[in-house]
Amino acid sequence: MAAPQFEVPKLTGYAETPAVKEGASAHIKSFPASESVQAAIGFPGGLVEDWHDKAIAKMGDLLNRYRSLRVFMDACVHCGACTDKCHYFLGTGDPKNMPVARQDLMRQVYRRHFTFAGKYFPALVGAKDLTEDLLQEWYTYYYQCSECRRCSVFCPYGIDTAEVTMAGREILDTVGIGQKYTNEIMGKLHKIGNNLGLPGPALANTLEGLEEDILDATGAPVKLPIDVKGAEILLVTPSADFFSEPHVESLVGYAKVFHATGASWTLSSKASEAGNFGMFIGSYENMRRAALRIREAALELGVKRIVVGECGHAWRVAYSFWNTLTGVGAGGADPFSIELQKQLDSRYPAPQHICEYTYDLIQQGKLNFDKSLNDHRVITFHDSCNVARGARMSDMPGGQFVIPREVIKAVANNFHDMAEETIGESTFCCGGGGGILSDDLMEIRVKGALPRMEAFNNVVQEHKVNFLALICAICKAQFTKVVPYYGFDMSMVGGVHQLVSTAILLVDERENENQE
């Protein structure tokens, strides 16, 4: 870890709301996207000539397409309930990171151009013209929001800043201002099929290597099949699971679970990415295009069931949006969604989360664990924002909080939750979600992680917790990078299925051979 160019917040043992410090994070800006990056996802590169009129027109278009935006622009009363809820405000003190102020960056333009009061009495209601400076401010602060929706839990009208941020990014993209990190990844996903840009053969190679590693470690011939036609289950997982640490440990965990019950499953090179950054930039079209790859792969492979790996925003897209976008789930009317529904097991017409899958098997007593294998770990669980507030597991509201914890408790003995107000629906974002997981945003990532690090530090002190269990590829990457700034070791970060992987008992076929 290089010496930081900024002051890392100190952990004090209790969560404090900082005093307002204007402009505290105004200098933190991610690299803009080049023209070719923008073109690959259907946007102009570089500020277009008639940007003002185009931006206002786009805002009008979005106001007509999204009820959320239309209602949220009007309904805010500036009550202040959200002002101390955003991790980026708590970490920086920059008032423009208060959800209401972030929304107001757009609301002031909305009022100027789309409301009576703003047209005729702009000063009275804080209405402003859209200037190039303001547009740059949008770029700064709409890329200091991780779209985690924590503010929406606490807003008396349910105003969701994520919807405003998404609209802001879509307008920025439309006039040629895109973010390099997110948009480049989006382009790779369209072109190659995953965020890392891994071609099929490289992927197959990696998987083979992993199979050998697992065999060496356990003696069990655990397979990581890819592009197997006629397999029962298609596993769609974030591509980070193939290459990054600690992500890959969870991939090994999923494979062991499938192996333990003899499930027929496959990965797909076409759908080698669960992530869908189209959501981050509020682009329905890009999000849909990415989701269609998965439907296409499911149809080609003829699978009966789709399971999604550990990835927060991917699970939100899969659970909440796939059915809308591509008709995966009940009710799709176009020929391909009808065909897919016929093909899928009627018990599982909608995608399932890997934690739901594993939990079901645990409930049925089909998996065997030696929990003591995890005894060197004292575990806590971080609810990922998109799973916590944008999706669900099981038939029960709140199942997304229960199931991962039950899986952990089934495979390990030492578990302690962090403080109530920092988990469940009130969970803090890791600080790197929503398109912020870029090195050029390291300062905001570190500062945004402060509330989570405070809560984590408290259980480390109190219960000697040494493992932060996650179900999100972005959380894993973010925390691995960021916990060292707060004095923790990056090996404390890992996946829920990494814990499953450690404790699961598989038949060592080498022993069988020896006995024969």
Site for another protein in 165-224 (CB under 8 A): none
Question: What residue type is 125 in one-letter code?
Answer: V
Residue labelled with tokens 């009022």: 111
E strand or H helix that includes residue 352: strand 352-353
Identify the residue among 164, 290, 391, 446 touching another protein (CB under 8 A). Answer: 391
x-or-dash string of contact with another protein, 4-43, rule CB under 8 A = -------------x-xx-x---------------------
Q: Determine the Cα–Cα distance for residues 133 and 127; give it in Å rounded to an integer.
A: 15
SS (H, E, C) 216-268: HHHCCCCCCCECCCCCCEEEECCCHHHHCCCHHHHHHHHHHHHHHCCCCEEEC
x-or-dash string of contact with another protein, 281-300, rule CB under 8 A = ---xx--xx--xx-xx--x-
Q: Closest separation between CB of residue 201 and another protein, Å?
A: 21
Query: 125 or 490: whose CB is closer to another protein?
Result: 125
- The structure tokens listed for 427 are 């969970």
Identify the residue among 156, 230, 302, 487 touching another protein (CB under 8 A). Answer: 156
Q: What is the DSSP code (8-state) at residue 111?
A: H
Q: Which of residues 251-280 bind another protein (CB under 8 A)?
A: none
Q: Which of residues 299-318 bind another protein (CB under 8 A)?
A: 299
Identify the residue among 11, 26, 48, 63 touching another protein (CB under 8 A). Answer: 63
Does residue number 321 form part of the binding site for another protein (CB under 8 A)? yes
- The structure tokens listed for 263 are 């499930």
Q: Closest separation between CB of residue 350 and another protein, Å?
A: 4
Does residue 339 contact residue 349 with C-beta atoms inside 8 Å?
no
Does residue number 134 form part of the binding site for another protein (CB under 8 A)? no
Long-range CB pairs of 204-213, under 8 A, 24+ apart, other chains included:
204/269, 206/242, 206/243, 207/242, 207/267, 210/248, 210/251, 210/252, 210/255, 213/252
Does residue 472 contact residue 497 with C-beta atoms inside 8 Å?
no
Q: Which of residues 462-501 bind another protein (CB under 8 A)?
A: none
Bridge-based pairing state of the strands 467-470 and 379-381: parallel
Query: 22 or 489: whose CB is closer to another protein?
Result: 22
Residue labelled with tokens 């990054």: 244
Query: 66 or 369: whose CB is closer to another protein?
Result: 66
What is the sign of the dihedral through the CA atoms of 167, 445, 160 and 380?
positive
Query: 217 or 338: whose CB is closer to another protein?
Result: 338
Q: Closest separation between CB of residue 41 and another protein, Å?
A: 15
Q: Determine the Cα–Cα distance for residues 327 and 423; give it in Å rounded to an integer.
A: 32
Q: Determine the Cα–Cα distance for residues 99 and 144; give it in Å rounded to an integer.
A: 11
Query: 70 or 416: whose CB is closer to another protein?
Result: 70
Q: Which of residues 412-441 bind another protein (CB under 8 A)?
A: 425-426
Q: What is the DSSP code (8-state) at residue 371?
A: G
- The structure tokens listed for 362 are 């645990």
Q: Which of residues 93-122 bind another protein (CB under 8 A)?
A: 95, 98, 100-101, 104, 115-117
Does residue number 245 form part of the binding site for another protein (CB under 8 A)? no
Identify the residue among 7, 212, 216, 395 touching another protein (CB under 8 A). Answer: 395
**Binding footprint of another protein, residue count (CB under 8 A):** 86
Identify the residue among 7, 14, 123, 342 touching another protein (CB under 8 A). Answer: 123
Q: Which of residues 79-98 bind another protein (CB under 8 A)?
A: 79-85, 95, 98
Q: Closest separation between CB of residue 115 and another protein, Å?
A: 6
The residues that bridge with 379 in the sheet, in sequence order, are 415, 467
Does residue 432 contact residue 475 with C-beta atoms inside 8 Å?
yes
Identify the residue among 28, 145, 155, 186 touching another protein (CB under 8 A). Answer: 155
Does residue number 392 form part of the binding site for another protein (CB under 8 A)? yes
Q: Determine the Cα–Cα distance for residues 201 and 490; give it in Å rounded to an integer.
A: 31
Find the part of the chain contacting another protein (CB under 8 A) among 67-75, 206-214, 253-261, 463-471. 67-75
x-or-dash string of contact with another protein, 371-390, rule CB under 8 A = -----------------xxx
Residue 137 phi/psi, 5° resolution?
-65, -40
Find the part of the chain contacting another protein (CB under 8 A) among 123-131, 168-176, 219-227, 493-501. 123-131
CA atoms within 13 A of residue 197's CA, in its CB half-sphere:
5
Q: Which of residues 329-358 bind another protein (CB under 8 A)?
A: 329-336, 349-350
Identify the residue among 11, 48, 57, 125 touching another protein (CB under 8 A). Answer: 125
Based on the number of CB atoms within 10 Å of its own CB, is 12 exposed (0-12), middle (13-18) or buried (19 or more)? exposed
Residue 48 phi/psi, 5° resolution?
-75, 160
Residue labelled with tokens 């105003």: 159
Q: Closest separation between CB of residue 173 and another protein, Å?
A: 18
Query: 154 or 243: whose CB is closer to another protein?
Result: 154
Identify the residue among 149, 188, 305, 405 touching another protein (CB under 8 A). Answer: 149
Does residue number 77 form part of the binding site for another protein (CB under 8 A)? yes
What is the sign of the dihedral through the CA atoms of 251, 252, 255 and 257?
negative
CA distances from 410 to 352, 370, 457 (A): 20, 9, 25
Q: What is the DSSP code (8-state) at residue 380?
A: E
Does residue number 152 form part of the binding site for another protein (CB under 8 A)? yes
Q: What is the DSSP code (8-state) at residue 321?
A: I
Find the part of the chain contacting another protein (CB under 8 A) among 39-47, 66-74, 210-218, 260-268. 66-74
Find the part of the chain contacting another protein (CB under 8 A) among 135-143, 301-309, 393-401, 476-484. 393-401
Q: What is the DSSP code (8-state) at residue 211?
A: H
